A and B are shown apart, each in its own frame.
Chain A
Amino acid sequence: MGKGKSDIGPPDYRDMLPEVIKNNYGKWKYHEITKPGVLRHVSESGAEVWTVRVGSPRLVSIDFIRDICDVADKYCDGHLRFTSRYNIELMTPKKENVDPIIKAVEKLGLPVGGTGKSISNIVHTQGWVHCHSAATDSSGIVKAIMDELYPYFISMELPARVRIALACCINMCGAVHCSDIAIVGIHTKPPKVDNTKVSAVCEIPTTMASCPTGAIRRHPDSNIKGLVVNEEKCMYCGNCFTVCPAMPLADSDGDGVAIYVGGKVSNARSVPMFSRLAIPYLPNNPPRWPEAVDAIKNIVEVYAKHALPDERMGEWIARVGWENFFKLTKIPFTEHHIDDFTHAVDTYRTTTQFRW
């Protein structure tokens, strides 16, 4: 078996660009959203490119990709791109191609939207289709949420864009921690140490060092080459499980999701901010996770009703105060909401200014 070539890197993007993009690279002057899911970019040269943005389930078959390629061959001179939120973008210099593109993708069962003041696709992780550390599923719960929020994908009626992301454990591959709404899979029970396997599959000092709260110790019985967990100190982060497979902490009843809100990465108006805890725990309830879906829908609806134009979720909450966020959404505020990790005291209120 040959070795293949080595370290060639990805294909050069310059070989992938449509003609109209190549000719107007760096010369774009302005853009407009002509309707939900359709962008028109105009160049200094007067040339224009129309983009149809299409939602995708992300986990797709090669036949799905081939179907999209057929549309791109027919209307986009054999080019297309994807966005960082998994949407497909079909681009053409010809305005008359826009409606046929929309018809073609709708025939494939795919929605057009995700532009401007919409809820675009949910950035997410692998979950139960592929990940060993998942505390919840990803594709399944995302599908359940997007079915419910679908009207917001195909329209632009919200005060501002709402970026939703989901991570199936607190490793959070992807930037979920700075999203308008972040859904995070959580464990709520300490790892179950399998000391028959620890010495065979784990490095004991590395596993002890992996614990951010120092909860893992050598087994007190020196005849046992193993580990014990001080369960009171465990915050279920799973870092030990990542370095030691003999410490699983997934649990059918204990695992679930937490909801964080009000984060953003854009610098527009306010500075980028982290999402903050709104709901500490909701159960895993496949196939449709009704508790999580209802909670998210409620947050979106309350935000849509109360935020001012162009106010992102976090900006709205900053203006009305977290005390009002909990009041308006009817989400109970509990001791779990009060930070007790590093830098916690920075979140305690040091003023008499607050709302009743």
Chain B
Amino acid sequence: MTDNDTPLINELENGPWPSYIKEIKRMAKRKPAAKDLLGVQELSFKDKITHWKHGGIVGVTGYGSGVIGRYTDVPEKFPAVEMFHTMRINQPAGWFYTTDSLRKLCDIWEKHGSGLTNFHGSTGDVILLGTNTESLQPCFNELTEAGFDLGGSGSALRTTSCCVGPARCEFSNIDTLDICRDFTQEFQDEMHRPRWPYKFKIKISGCPNDGVAAIARADFTIIGTWHDTLRIDRAEVCKYVQNGFDIKGLVIDKCPTKALTWNEKESELVIRPDDCVRCMHCINKMPKALRPGVDKGATILIGGKAPIVKGAYLSWVLVPFMKMEPPYTEAKELLHKIWEWWDENGRTRERVAELIERMGLKTFLRAVDLKPNPQMVFRPRSNPYVFFD
């Protein structure tokens, strides 16, 4: 196969955004699988349809997840991608790397796979894209020697991920990286041996800006927050205003609960702490002058997911405030209660939010020993159909 055989995908080598086709072509010079992947991609562009089949069950010894089996439906044309399995490699928390560790990963994938990768997959793993069944175990063995392990797939705990957190962000109210590392180490079995009704995701964001979209996609959502009052550096506020910053228009008027006022005469920003809902807007706008409070912890929410099957859900508030200090016993005990109830009652491919909707939040709260509180709802019910049992 030459460039002449792939006119459609060649077009995507043009334009200012970096080209993945160029990347595949780079590997195609020395990897037959990358070369045949170009062929499959060209064929899909021509046919407007995928040329990959359902994965078979492939994996490494002792694991039920971490490898996605993949086969093309045109193996006679493109034999080098007859098998093109994916390995999900659990990333270090916060996606920090040394170049040494990355070079080791590259060398292992040079030896055992297509040389193509995703940095990273949506869930957070490094995706090693494309190898055959025989290479899986030797590749895995070398990966673990180099200090890497597989991530989650199937009906298991999926790879946990977190925002950059205290490593490089002043907004973070919890140690997102340590929680991610600690939970990942504690729940290796839940991640590597699928045994639940369906997938379960944990994501950790350090503040309500929610940098890893935890509220939209994590069954167990941890978002850093604070219980006291945000901190105001009066001198720095004045500097913003003196430099022409429109504090009235860009901060005061945008506060969702009208908790802030600007005293022009005294040059003072005043907050009514009870009205602040910790939305982060004012802090985002004036990071030099405003900071989260000092009584830090997390809001725990439950049930975020994409549409399959019963529709998408944003996570619901479960524990309004939880202190997050190692070894994170309270959060872990709650997780075990949730898993036990879901495992007991969930149907095949039923995420925990769908089960809560089917059984009722009341039933769920009783099962996990939590008392109802008004932070859990936007508003109470309007109908009269109450079960007094």
Contact = CB atoms under 8 A, between A and B. Distances in A.
B2 interface: no
A355 interface: no
A286 B45 contact: yes
Contacts of A251: 49
B98 A59 contact: no
A277 to B, nearest CB: 12
Interface stretch (B166-174, B268-276, B322-330): B166-174
A65 B309 contact: no
B24 A59 contact: yes
A69 B12 CA distance: 25
A252 B96 contact: no
B102 A65 contact: yes
Q: Which of B47, B55, B97, B349 has the most CB of A within 10 A?
A: B97
Contact of A245 (B53, B116, B120): B53
Contact of A268 (B105, B122, B141, B209): B209
A73 B99 CA distance: 7
B137 A1 contact: yes
B259 interface: no
Contact of B17 (A4, A81, A147, A253): A147
Given A28-B170, A175-B216, A255 B49 contact: yes
B64 interface: no
Nearest to B139: A4
Interface string B66-100: 00001000000000000010100111111111111
Contact of B98 (A8, A15, A61, A266): A15
Contacts of A129: 20, 37, 40-41, 129
Nearest to B13: A143
Contacts of B347: 209
Nearest to B175: A26
A16 B102 CA distance: 10
Interface in B201-256: 208-217, 223, 249-250, 254, 256
A61 B115 contact: yes
A200 interface: no
B363 interface: no
Contacts of B310: 212, 342
A310 B285 contact: yes
Interface in B5-50: 8-9, 11-12, 14-21, 23-24, 26-27, 34, 37, 40-41, 44-45, 47-50
B11 A287 contact: yes
Interface in A212-236: 212
A292 interface: no
B256 A269 contact: yes
Nearest to A144: B12
Given A10-B149, A30-B170, A177-B306, A78 B284 contact: no
Contact of A128 (B50, B63, B308): B50
Q: How large is the interface on A (under 10, 10 to 19, 20 to 34, 35 or more residues)?
A: 35 or more
Given A25-B166, A62-B115, A130-B86, A84 B47 contact: no
A5 B90 CA distance: 15
A91 interface: yes
A110 B309 CA distance: 39
B15 A341 contact: no
Interface string A28-64: 1111100000000100000001010001111111111
Given A30-B288, A61-B26, A81 B119 contact: no
B17 A146 contact: yes
Interface residues of B, number: 133
Interface in B305-325: 306-312, 314
A82 B167 contact: no
B340 interface: no
B383 interface: no
Interface string A273-293: 010000000001011100000
A11 interface: yes
A170 B265 CA distance: 55
A137 interface: yes
B96 A13 contact: yes
A62 to B, nearest CB: 4
Nearest to B286: A30
A5 B147 CA distance: 9
Contacts of A55: 17-18
A63 B99 contact: no
B335 interface: no
A191 B120 CA distance: 32
Given A10-B93, A28-B166, A173-B306, A59 B20 contact: yes
B308 A310 contact: no
A332 interface: no
B54 A59 contact: no
A223 to B, nearest CB: 27
Contacts of A299: none
B210 A57 contact: no
Interface string A143-170: 1101100100100000000000001001
Interface of B: 8-9, 11-12, 14-21, 23-24, 26-27, 34, 37, 40-41, 44-45, 47-55, 60-63, 70, 84, 86, 89-103, 105-106, 109-110, 115-124, 129-130, 137-138, 140-145, 147-149, 161, 163-164, 166-170, 172, 175, 177, 180-181, 184-185, 188-189, 192, 208-217, 223, 249-250, 254, 256, 278-281, 284-285, 287-288, 291, 306-312, 314, 347-349
22 contacts: A10-B89, A13-B177, A15-B98, A16-B97, A18-B96, A49-B168, A57-B17, A59-B23, A59-B24, A59-B129, A60-B116, A61-B116, A84-B212, A86-B119, A88-B119, A111-B17, A128-B50, A134-B50, A137-B45, A140-B9, A272-B210, A309-B250
10 closest A-B pairs (Cβ-Cβ)? Answer: A147-B15, A174-B122, A172-B306, A4-B141, A267-B208, A128-B44, A146-B17, A10-B90, A175-B213, A26-B166
Interface of A: 1-13, 15-18, 21, 25-26, 28-32, 41, 49, 51, 55-66, 69, 72-73, 78-84, 86, 88, 91, 109-111, 123-125, 127-134, 137, 139-140, 143-144, 146-147, 150, 153, 167, 170-178, 206, 209-210, 212, 237, 239, 242-243, 245, 250-253, 255, 263, 265-270, 272, 274, 284, 286-288, 309-310, 341-343
Given A10-B148, A28-B168, A132-B55, 8 more contacts: A11-B92, A17-B167, A61-B34, A172-B306, A172-B307, A266-B209, A268-B281, A272-B216
